[in-house]
Structure 1
């Protein structure tokens, strides 16, 4: 009887111990995930075509949270624990960055930083000018892309060379041009104020960015979330999700593990 009782008690203890270990493992895993997401890397997906050709609709990428230091927007739910940034490192001209929308800080935006505090920015006849000098670009050729509405974007592809900043050399990246007309291609001269940056989409004619002062406008450096680093997955989603047999075809294999530049 004693042996039986001891056996039953031992089994209950082992079961309780096993359940406790499972709970602790789950809690530890969640804590590690929160720490990694908050301090190191956070995954984001691209829902719109404003950064075509650099980023396509359906790209999934890792964003480094530590590159620019941390603000309240680095934390889950953005608690108002402090203002400004801690462990701050200045962004570089040419960085592809995730930041909070100026009109609604619950929304994440991703654009390229083309202007830093003190820079003079202007677009004339579709050409970008930085501090009075035309930013050089080289035409590559025709380009067709698909936006978030499954509409075709037909334009011209260019290599654009932004001057470096903070000791870093020039940044060569691709842009898409659809037209030379419209307000976005003939702007006033903008002077980036202290504590802000000027962001533009690489799809220059289909991007609501800092050229539109009543929309995004100048972006506070405090709003920075992180620096886009690598595309780890990309999915075209041209077929309904239930057509699972199309999934292997939908994956853009050539975009997996591609560095963002």
Structure 2
């Protein structure tokens, strides 16, 4: 007679679900730590390229992995970045100022050893004015939600195609600075909305960014995933029309 085969125990649905969730979380953590991370733009300091309400995707591997690579979890790097890759002047980067617990996004304008100064709203690097060209005027929504007018300038670093920066005020205190010398293993960042950006021109104790240590870089901004108005709410379907349809998968220059 043939022996009876043991009946296979039915899988426990609770354990299967738990296993699936753990695997999914593990994969998500690995992707977020080593490849991509989303960030939300909370202000207009990077206008016109980035708008308040944009959700952007950054790449981690493009810079290497510093101490905030897995934030809010600790990452075992004290100085520098694991598999470090040097960023380029003009890159838009997410970082965390030293001594602050908030993430910033700005444009990298100063490399280690550079001397930078702003005079009458124009950026000078190592004594030479960065190439700029007046494009015209643009209407934008200011921090109070009202329409304002800005001068739009095309700023170009080296051989890149250039990016647009805003000049919204004349004789703003940030338009004229002393000379900043970027320390070794640090970077200097500025917002594209130059008169409305607390960046490396302003020390951390006054709400700015100061000089950024190399290990505090988190990711290079690559593209806008989606963008929403202030009235958008995920769990209120009647607000979904407040998505900005022209900004899906928009590249960041």
Is 2:99 the partner of 1:103? Answer: yes
| Aligned position for 1:219 | 212
Larger Rg: 1
- What do the CA deviations read for 1:110-158 (whole angstroms, capped 9, x no partner)? 0000000111111111111111111111112111222454233421111
**Aligned 1:2-41 pairs, distance under 5 A:** 13-16=9-12, 18-41=13-36
- Give the CA deviation at 1:189: 1.0
Q: Which residue, out of 85, 92, 95, partners 2:88? A: 92
> Within 1, Cα distance between the matches of 2:228 and 2:75?
36
Tell me if 1:254 matches 2:243.
no
Tell me by how many angstroms 1:72 deviates: 1.6
The equivalent residue for 2:228 is: 235
Residues 93-124 of structure 1, C-alpha deviation per residue, up to 9 Å, x if partnerless? 000000012231x2100000000011111111
Q: Distance in 2 between matches of 1:158 and 1:140?
A: 5
User: Scaled by the length of structure 2, what TM-score is found?
Assistant: 0.89
Stretch moving more, 141-150 or 19-28: 141-150
Deviation at 1:170, TM superposition (A): 2.8
Residue 14 of structure 1: SS of its match in structure 2?
coil
Unaligned runs of 5+ in 1: 1-8, 164-168
The number of residues matched between the two structures is 245
Whether contact under 8 Å (1:57, 1:147) holds in the other structure is no
- Which of 66, 73, 76 aligns to 2:61? It is 66
- What secondary structure, in the 3-state scheme, does the structure 2 residue paired with 1:229 have? strand
Equivalent residue, structure 2, for 1:206: 196
Show structure 2 runs of 5+ residues with no match.
Answer: 1-5
Match of 1:187 among 177, 180, 186: 177
The alpha-carbon deviation at position 243 of structure 1 amounts to 6.5
User: Taking structure 1 as reference, are residues 226 and 242 closer, same or farther at Cα in structure 2, changes over 3 Å only?
Assistant: closer
CA–CA distance in 2 between the matches of 1:241 and 1:153? 29
Name segments (4+ residues, structure 1) moved above 3 Å: 238-244
Residue 5 of structure 1 aligns with which residue? Answer: none
Higher helix share: 1
d(CA) in 1 for partners of 2:75 and 2:231?
40
For 2:170 and 2:127, how far apart are their aligned partners in 1? 19
| Structure 1 position 78, deviation (Å) | 4.4
Q: Secondary structure of the equivalent of 2:17?
A: helix
How far did residue 171 of structure 1 move? 4.9
- How far apart, CA to CA, are the structure 2 residues paired with 1:204 and 1:194? 25
Task: List aligned pairs for 1:59-208, cutoff 5 A.
Answer: 59-79=54-74, 81-84=76-79, 85-104=81-100, 106-163=101-158, 169-208=159-198
Offset, 1:24: 1.3
